Amino acid sequence: VTQQAAPSATHVGSAAGGYDALVGSGLFEKLPELLQARVGAHRYAVISDHRVAPLHGEPLVRACAGAGLEAHLFTFAAGEASKTRKQWSILTDALLDAGVGRDGCVVAVGGGVTGDLAGFVAATFMRGIALVQVPTSYLAMVDASVGGKTGVDLRHGKNLVGAFHAPRLVLADPRTLTTLPEQERAQGLVEAFKHGAIRDAAHFEWLGAHAEALLAADAEAASEAVLRSVEIKAAVVSADERESGLREVLNFGHTVGHALEAESRFDVAHGTAVAEGMLLEAEIGERLGVTEPGTGARLAEALRRLELPPLPTLDATAVSRFLAADKKARSGRARYVLLKRLGEVDGAEGWSREVPDALVLEVLEERLRRV
């Protein structure tokens, strides 16, 4: 008998009335009954990549059929390269061919790419149909599936086309993490550490202390980590659905992180880039006297436990050029979220601010040399 913790529901506020994020071991098997009770769609379009489809997508469609629900499976090639307008078009047409209508529902089963891509299909299909997010990776569970962001990548950058589209339900079953490659687990856990870093120092320390169990996808540790991350993210996005204010705090580590990813031509994985971005932004904050001294060292100590791959050699000047092109830049100037201390973002000048280019370059040069 597998351990089955009682599921926890976190409510996420949104303009459309809000939705529940359910976290619990064994929840996946209750999905057909939850879809029926909470969505009641005419047809369900289950969208998974070709790697997750046999593991979770096909079983779900079979379970839906067994429960008397009409469900169809739509698959695409796994990987960020599928997050395109082209793949979005193909999926949209396939849903229409299958007779999915306004009273249909998209069920996104997979990692962050699936949630973003399938979410954008749901957001734009007949101007928006019901969406259920079923994240099966740490990244998707602790971050991507909550908050309603959907989108695809362009040659100009990631997520440049998309929409905010709140799901009707988020269901995270930590048991599905056992099918996730270990290196992807570490990448996704970085966002959980980020949630601790910006809002809950005790949880941050807890994550560091339980890194080994989390990397092994231990059901109890994973449930605890996912649940607390979802709570933190839900509290932030409930207060600010459209990223005009408080939601900016979620970008801690991401301004520098995105520039590292971009300069490496996405050879550096997102988690690695954000982990490094947090360390660099902590260093910038400490030198500006905004961030409590020693914060960067505490971040580094905990993140070390995730055994992320090292950064490749990157040129500081080249990295800094990508900062101004950041999607969050205003009037061509990059903006940074700075910690006040571990567990708290500094809000003295709003939730993000500009910092001197020279300081950023200096920190980049020192840090990238050290790597």
Residue listed under structure tokens 């567990």: 343
Among 93, 267, 307, 349, binds a copy of itself (CB under 8 A): 93
Dihedrals phi, psi of 158, to nearest 5 degrees: -85, 145
233 is catalytic: yes
The verdict on 89 binding a copy of itself (CB under 8 A) reads yes
Residue among 97 and 369 whose Cβ is closer to a copy of itself: 97
85 is catalytic: no
The verdict on 239 binding a copy of itself (CB under 8 A) reads no
Residue among 233 and 367 whose Cβ is closer to a copy of itself: 233
Which among 72, 175, 199, 270 is annotated as catalytic?
Answer: 270
The verdict on 36 binding a copy of itself (CB under 8 A) reads no
The verdict on 85 binding a copy of itself (CB under 8 A) reads yes
Q: Min. distance of Cβ 366 from a copy of itself in angstroms?
A: 30
Q: Is 365 exposed, middle or buried (0-12, 13-18, 19+ CB in 10 A)?
A: middle
The verdict on 220 binding a copy of itself (CB under 8 A) reads no
> 85 pairs with which residues across the strands?
none
In sequence order, the 6+-apart residues with CB closer than 8 A to the CB of 365 are 316
Phi-psi region of 310 (alpha: psi -120 to 50; beta: other; left: phi over 0): beta
> 12 pairs with which residues across the strands?
19
List, as one string, the DSSP characters of 157-208.
Answer: EEEEEEEE---SEEEE-GGGGGGS-HHHHHHHHHHHHHHHHHH-HHHHHHHH
Q: How many residues bind a copy of itself (CB under 8 A)?
A: 38
Which among 83, 199, 258, 367 is annotated as catalytic?
Answer: 258
24-32, 154-162, 181-189, 218-226 -> range binding a copy of itself (CB under 8 A)? 154-162
80 is catalytic: no
Residue among 162 and 277 whose Cβ is closer to a copy of itself: 162
Q: Which one-letter amino acid corresponds to residue 223?
A: S
Alpha-carbon torsion, ordered 363, 365, 368, 371, to 10 deg: -90
Under a CB-based contact definition with an 8 Å cutoff, are residues 117 and 76 in contact?
Answer: yes
328 is catalytic: no
Chain centroid to CA 40 = 27
Give the number of other CB atoms < 10 A from CB of residue 299.
Answer: 25
265 is catalytic: no
Pattern 1-20, binding to a copy of itself, x per CB under 8 A? --------------xx----
270 is catalytic: yes
157-165, 189-197, 232-240, 341-349 -> range binding a copy of itself (CB under 8 A)? 157-165
Catalytic residue annotation: 127, 149, 191, 233, 243, 247, 251, 254, 258, 270
Site residues (CB under 8 A) for a copy of itself? Answer: 15-16, 42, 85, 89, 92-93, 96-97, 101-103, 123-128, 149-151, 154-156, 159-164, 242-243, 327-332
